[in-house]
Amino acid sequence: MRGRTDAGTRGGPARAARGMAGAAAVLLAAACLAIASPLAAQVPTPLSVLGFRVGADSMLASWRQIDGYLSRLAAASPRVRLDTLGSTTQGRPYLLVTISDPANLARREALMAAQRRLADPRTLDEAGEARLVQTQPAVVLISCSIHSTEIAASQMSLELVRRLATDSALGSALRDVVVLLVPSANPDGIDIVGDWYRRTRGTAYDGSSPPWLWHAYVGHDDNRDWFMLTQVETRLLTRVLYKQWFPEVVYDVHQMGGNGARLFLPPFADPVNPNLDGMIVEATNHVGTAMATALSDAGFTGVQHQSGFDLWWHGGNRTVPARHNMIGILSEAASARIASPVPVGPTDLRQPARGVNYPLPWTGSWWRLRDIVDYELTASEELVRLAARERAGFVRRFVRAGRRAVEAGRTASPRAYLIPPAQRDEGARAQLANLLLATGIEMFRARGPFAVEGRSYPAGTLVIPLAQPFRAHVKDLFERQVYPERRQYPGGPLLPPYDVTGWTLPLTMGVTVDSTRDAVAADLAPVDSVAVTPGRVEGTGNVVLLANRSNGEATAVWRALAAGASVAIAPSSFAASGRTWPSGTLVVRGARAVLDRAAAELGFFAVAVPRLPELAGAPTLRRVPRVGVYRSWNASMDEGWTRWVLERLGVPYTSLADSAVRAGGLRARYDVIVLPSESPAQIRNGRPAGSVPAEYAGGLGASGVEALRAFLQDGGTVVSLDQASLFAIGDLGAPATSVGGGRVARGASGTSRFSAPGSIFAAIVDRADPLASGMDSVAAIFLEASPLLDAGPGGRAVVSFPREGNPLLSGFVQGAELMAGRAALVDAPVGRGDAILFGFSPQHRGQTNGTFKLLTNAILYGAARAASAGGPPAR
């Protein structure tokens, strides 16, 4: 069962027919045994298959058990179809359960085609719309446990499917509703968390979180990936959403902390993103309050609305659909300790005050996995019943919102976005276009040159007209966010944003995108995918000069090193092949064929010359650098993203656990050690003793800090990212100072403290510095709780903020005046080694292609410096 990579189907109409025949036999037996429902008799219960009741204390179904049970249901019930969409990062089957009336399942392809037309009203005439409003079921998608410690929903899903398969009232509702159920949006995490839970169950660590990410790379940030689509799991479900089913409602089932309200449901909190259709916001409120009403009717209490979850941020499992005219619902249940019950006594419980957003305070004293299952089950079933009751309204609203988006795109500015060809980073250009296409955005390629608003564009320019139904999605990705400052009261403390405040992709990815107020008149061909335009190495000879403009060139350099080439970073400008090459040019000797292939594949241009004198003073690499990436037991997402970006760029590395650092002797094994962003206390202290088994407790500790100091003294390079730079300064003695760094705490006071809670800024790059190889003189950089830096004695500021004006490009900043002239990237020599301090996230969530290069430069340059510093002295 594991490791299946095909998109396979189990159950469905063929089995449904057999199931119906079987049902007749069971019906006879049921009559004798007085069993209420003939369907219930043939559809196994979770208890009969798992051996325990869903939500039983301390019991969790593994992914194999979930798959096995759903397979049994699909085989037994004509209402249930089970598809494997593909294979997860770790090779588990990614499952989608489709549950509806058998007649609907039999015409599934036709229903999907009709959803596509509803999603794009330009394809519907009045009669066609009227017919679909009469006949088309509403489609709702329920996604469970994308966050794997929030595991109840994955268990609940088993009981939900059985209820939908057997309950007669729900069966009637399913004539008007198609339910798409994702039992987990991160199947790997169900086992990562489940295995850890079973390992620690009944020990002192019962109910603790695992000391590693519950996804190979991204952990909790798997719900930050829904426009960037870096991970395979995101891509699999995105295809269902915007290529196949176009559901009217997407319900994302989560959990939160355990001490407050029992369940959050919409209405969401302010602010509302300006690109969201108010009609969809109203409908979201409506669905949330219908769920809450069903819960209170059934005797549940403790449901809260309008707490911290807002409608501003883009990138989540519910927020990207909301920009596709879909109703995005979130529920957040109070958590148990994974599957272990928790007492919630009056002193632990911090309920909100009773009010319109919390009308029924909770009165319990224990909280169990089964409680979460019951709340989520009730909310899910109400969604199905509501979608059936109001089917026509859901269908009509979806069409209307699409029409409104198309109309707005015809009349409001901008009318279109333009992505010209021949950009600095061809790979980023193609990636940006493809992630838009994958999320259902309509795009065209100009067959010939054209002009708009007095600007000329060549053939090959990509054109995205905004008169399209998913306009809000692309507009919100391309425009600059202006986050409305919100304070508890005028002049009072800031209300912290829910997540990042700015995400403008052309800025983070370093891709030029123009907008136009005029409609584009050009000969346009529709595009369904964008390939990288091949580049090439021009000229003859085995010395290749790389301007290092693209990330493809960074990848090529690592391939060349692996093939035995040497790489030098030009310390100043020089002449070759009839032109002047700037400082930072990469000179690669001895891997022409490798670079020819890489240029064609990755889309960059380079120049070869037969010979070039050695460049005096050039940092040079003659072998593949040995790179370590520190991996704490805090399960750092930034660490995961760092690995993901390095792997994507082809930079080999070794992960370094606390014990490997503490063991010392690092310089003999590594040239560069990367410290992903974590606070100094997290790095030093790790998880407290007693909270996890001893081998995962304690962080680097004094011996680890000492080992890193020795690594620097011995000529190694430490590259610290974001908050880890505070550790490099405070604990490793990197000569630099810092201001700020950390989140805007809820209720934090003060108006001058610097805080950039996920925002994009313009920064000035010292292009003469080897660390800036290939960069432009101004870069858009992403700060999230990042510190501002000042270079100390002997250090250099490589990237810094302008001395005047507010450098904010997108999102929100507090205390911008503190940024003036401060550094965001500092090269700080320590002993014979070097600390390269980032005061921003060069690899933020895999989205910042425009600054990946600063990270690869730091590793390349750091390793070359380490090579020239020599190895460790004999001791």
Site for Zn ion in 486-525 (CB under 5 A): none
In the complex with Zn ion, the residue whose CB is nearer, 260 or 774, is 260
Report the residue number, 254 or 643, with the smaller CB distance to Zn ion: 254
Min dist CB 142 to Zn ion, Å, is: 15
The residue among 775, 833, 864, 423 whose CA lies nearest residue 583 is 775
Alpha-helical regions (H) of 303-368: 319-322
Site stretch for Zn ion (CB under 5 A), options 252-260, 388-396, 811-819, 850-858: 252-260
Joined together, the tokens standing for residue 127 give: 């009669």
Amino acid in position 252 = D
The residue range among 143-151, 382-390, 663-671, 715-723 that interacts with Zn ion, by the rule CB under 5 A, is: 143-151
CB of 155 to Zn ion, least distance (A): 15
Instruction: Determine contact, residues 610/542, Cβ cutoff 8 Å.
Output: yes
Q: Which is nearer to Zn ion, 262 or 832 (CB)?
A: 262
Which helix (H) or strand (E) segment holds residue 46: the answer is helix 46-50
Q: Is 469 exposed, middle or buried (0-12, 13-18, 19+ CB in 10 A)?
A: buried
- How would DSSP label each residue in 77-118? -TTEEEEEEEE-TTSPEEEEEEE--HHHHHTHHHHHHHHHHH
Backbone angles phi, psi at 160, to 5 degrees: -60, -45
Smallest distance from Zn ion to CB 114, Å: 33
Where is 263: in which H helix or E strand?
Answer: strand 263-264
Q: How far is the CB of 146 from Zn ion (least distance, A)?
A: 7
Find the part of the chain contacting Zn ion (CB under 5 A) among 80-88, 141-149, 336-344, 424-432.
141-149
Nearer to Zn ion, 331 or 434 (CB): 331
The residue type of 637 is M
Nearest to Zn ion of 254, 844 (CB atom): 254
Query: Shortest Cβ distance from residue 147 to Zn ion (Å)?
Result: 4
User: Interface with Zn ion by CB under 5 A: which range of 146-154, 367-375, 402-410, 632-640?
Assistant: 146-154
Residue 222 or 658 having the CB closest to Zn ion: 222
The residue whose two tokens read 């969604």 is 383
Interacting residues with Zn ion between 709 and 748 (CB under 5 A) = none
d(Cα 209, Cα 213) in Å, to the nearest integer? Answer: 9
> 90 and 232 in contact (C-beta within 8 Å)?
no
CB of 256 to Zn ion, least distance (A): 7
Instruction: Give me the least distance between CB of 219 and Zn ion, in Å please.
Output: 11
* Cβ proximity to Zn ion, 331 vs 468, nearer residue: 331
Spatial distance between the Cα atoms of 352 and 43, rounded to a whole number of angstroms: 42
Say how many residues touch Zn ion, by CB under 5 A. Answer: 3
Shortest Å, Cβ 309 to Zn ion: 10
Residue 373 or 627 with smaller CB distance to Zn ion: 373
Q: Can you state the angle between helices 637-649 and 849-869, rounded to 10 degrees?
A: 80
Q: Please report which residue ranges of 390-529 form alpha helices under DSSP H.
A: 391-411, 426-438, 471-478, 505-509
Nearer to Zn ion, 252 or 277 (CB): 252
Listed residue (259, 257, 255) closest to 343, CA to CA: 259
CA dist 839 and 723 (Å) reads 7
Integer CA distances (angstroms), 662 to 711, 739, 775, in order: 11, 29, 36
Token pair listed for 676: 């992903």
The CB-of-819 to Zn ion minimum distance in angstroms stands at 32
What minimum distance in Å lies between the beta carbon of 139 and Zn ion? 23
- Rg over alpha carbons for the chain, rounded to the nearest Å, is 28
CB of 642 to Zn ion, least distance (A): 22
Backbone angles phi, psi at 376, to 5 degrees: -70, -35
Asked if residues 331 and 291 have their Cβ atoms less than 8 Å apart, the reply is: yes
Q: Give the distance from CA 266 to its chain's centroid.
A: 22
Give the contact letters, 617-656, x = binds to Zn ion (CB under 5 A), - = no.
Answer: ----------------------------------------
Write down the least CB distance from residue 254 to Zn ion, Å. 3
Cα gap 409→402, rounded to integer Å:
11
CB 847 within 8 A of CB 509: yes
Contact range with Zn ion by CB under 5 A, out of 148-156, 269-277, 295-303, 715-723: 148-156
Nearer CB in complex with Zn ion: 150/374: 150
- Give the three-class secondary structure for 162: helix
Q: Which stretch binds Zn ion (CB under 5 A): 9-17, 142-150, 309-317, 554-562?
A: 142-150
With respect to Zn ion, which residue has the nearer C-beta, 51 or 257? 257
Report the residue number, 334 or 824, with the smaller CB distance to Zn ion: 334
Residue corresponding to tokens 């996604």: 143
- Rank residues 262 and 391 by Cβ distance to Zn ion and give the closer one: 262
CB of 640 vs Zn ion, minimal distance in Å:
16
Candidate segments 250-258, 314-322, 335-343, 628-636, binder of Zn ion by CB under 5 A: 250-258
Given the complex with Zn ion, which of 147 and 314 has the nearer CB atom? 147
Q: How far is the CB of 253 from Zn ion (least distance, A)?
A: 9
Q: Which of 10, 92, 117, 147 binds Zn ion (CB under 5 A)?
A: 147
Q: Is 318 in the site for Zn ion (CB under 5 A)?
A: no
Q: Which segment (150-158, 492-500, 601-609, 676-684) binds Zn ion by CB under 5 A? A: 150-158
Mark the segment that binds Zn ion (CB under 5 A) among 3-11, 113-121, 145-153, 266-274. Answer: 145-153
Amino acid code (one letter) for 677: S
Distances (CA, A) of 389 to 79, 169, 610, 795, 845: 19, 12, 76, 68, 41
Q: Where does this chain touch Zn ion (CB under 5 A) — which range of 93-101, 253-261, 460-468, 593-601? A: 253-261
Per CB under 5 A, the list member of 117, 215, 254, 822 interacting with Zn ion is 254
Residues that bind Zn ion (CB under 5 A): 147, 150, 254
